Chains A and B, each alone.
Chain A
Amino acid sequence: MDKQNPLPKSYYDQLEAIQVVDFALVELNLYLDTHPNDLNALKQFNSLTKQSLELKQKFEAQFGPLMHFGRSFSEYPWRWKDAPWPWQV
């Protein structure tokens, strides 16, 4: 990342909150792949999916799109191509 323009602490905090929820979603997804009838896990999955969406909308409003190819909205000008990329932060 550009040394003259360090990212605010809120970038890291919000990103981490997303990583926490998304990790639980990956874990539940793999678990459901082999336990498709576990209703409790399924409920957790759907609830966290909603939570993830909300966290990402908030993050994207401040720091730009997290996804490409029409999976995130973009304001003008196009911001998707802008740094920082994940390995730069």
Chain B
Amino acid sequence: MWYYEKKLQYPVKVSICNPKLAKYLIEQYGGADGELAAALRYLNQRYTIPDKVIGLLNDIGTEEFAHLEMIATMVYKLTKDTTPEQLKAAGLGEHYVNHDKALFYENAGGVPFTATYIQAKGDPIADLYEDIAAEEKARATYQWIIDLSDDPFLNESLSFLREREIVHSQRFREAVEILKEERDKKKYF
């Protein structure tokens, strides 16, 4: 089971209301390479991955939920004091008529989240390579959002999340090597 802790993994501060930036950030909330997809992908894969790397999948999957909460906090803080007019000007008019200011699992283009973003092949190497790719894609997305953002406080939290993608990718690469080593041990000549 899981326990909730009443704190963010890393502080989230924003300078001013900025619904346009919130719209971009939603990509990491409900997008193909976002934090929800990451958490669900790893926690689902752990059942059929070899024992040696279950712990890693479990722990990175859990950390992704802390990242999802950070993104949600950013979106909430960037939009909570906005007017409908401001949301409309930021391209969130369609979001407003459907959801008011509620968060919704969708990407920056407003496409709802779908389970088809997540693969589960049952082949450990294929699954871990997908995980490495997912981390690298998420890292790139964070970079593109930072490039578009002019909020120095927000960028500090986004840089933290970008660095986490690098560390996760590194750990998944090590997991591949651990499995290869296991596989080679089983060979006899």
Q: Is the CB of B7 within 8 A of A18?
A: yes
Q: Let me know if B117 is at the binding interface, CB within 8 A.
A: no
B60 interface neighbour in A18, A30, A67, A87, Cβ under 8 Å: A30
Q: Is the CB of A33 within 8 A of B6?
A: no
Q: Is the CB of A19 within 8 A of B56?
A: no
Q: Let me know if B24 is at the binding interface, CB within 8 A.
A: no
Q: Let me know if B22 is at the binding interface, CB within 8 A.
A: no
Report the minimal beta-carbon distance from A83 to chain B, rounded to whole angstroms. 10
Q: Let me know if A86 is at the binding interface, CB within 8 A.
A: yes
Give the chain A neighbours of B189 by CB distance below 8 A: none
Give the chain A neighbours of B73 by CB distance below 8 A: 86-87
Q: Let me know if A26 is at the binding interface, CB within 8 A.
A: yes
Q: Is the CB of A66 within 8 A of B6?
A: yes
- How many residues from A make CB contacts under 8 Å with B? 23
Q: Let me know if B105 is at the binding interface, CB within 8 A.
A: no
Q: Is the CB of B59 within 8 A of A34?
A: no
Instruction: Report the number of A-B residue pairs with Cβ-Cβ less than 8 Å.
Output: 63
Q: Is the CB of B8 within 8 A of A33?
A: no
Give the chain B neighbours of A33 by CB distance below 8 A: 53, 55-56, 59, 171
Q: Knowing A34-B175, A86-B69, A87-B69 touch, does A16 contact B11 (C-beta < 8 A)?
A: yes
Main DSSP-derived SS at the A contact region: helix
Give the chain B neighbours of A9 by CB distance below 8 A: none
Q: Is the CB of A19 within 8 A of B11?
A: yes
Which of A19, A65, A86 has most B Cβ within 10 Å? A86
Q: Let me know if A76 is at the binding interface, CB within 8 A.
A: no
Q: Let me know if B145 is at the binding interface, CB within 8 A.
A: no
Q: Let me know if A74 is at the binding interface, CB within 8 A.
A: no
Give the chain A neighbours of B3 by CB distance below 8 A: 67-69, 71
A86 interface neighbour in B7, B55, B171, Cβ under 8 Å: B7
Q: 1/0 contact trace for B12-49 toward A, CB 8 Å?
A: 10000000000000000000000000000000000000
Which 10 A-B residue pairings sit nearest by Cβ, starting from the closest?
A87-B73, A34-B174, A33-B56, A86-B8, A33-B55, A66-B6, A87-B76, A30-B171, A71-B3, A67-B5
Task: Name B residues whose Cβ lies closer than 8 Å to a Cβ of A.
Answer: 3-12, 53, 55-56, 59-60, 63, 69, 72-73, 76-77, 167-168, 171, 174-175, 178
Q: Write 13 A-B pairs (CB below 8 A) sorted by A numbering.
A: A18-B7, A19-B9, A19-B11, A22-B9, A23-B9, A23-B10, A34-B56, A34-B175, A66-B7, A69-B3, A86-B8, A87-B8, A87-B76
Task: Name A residues whose Cβ lies closer than 8 Å to a Cβ of B.
Answer: 15-16, 18-19, 22-23, 26-27, 29-31, 33-35, 65-69, 71, 85-87
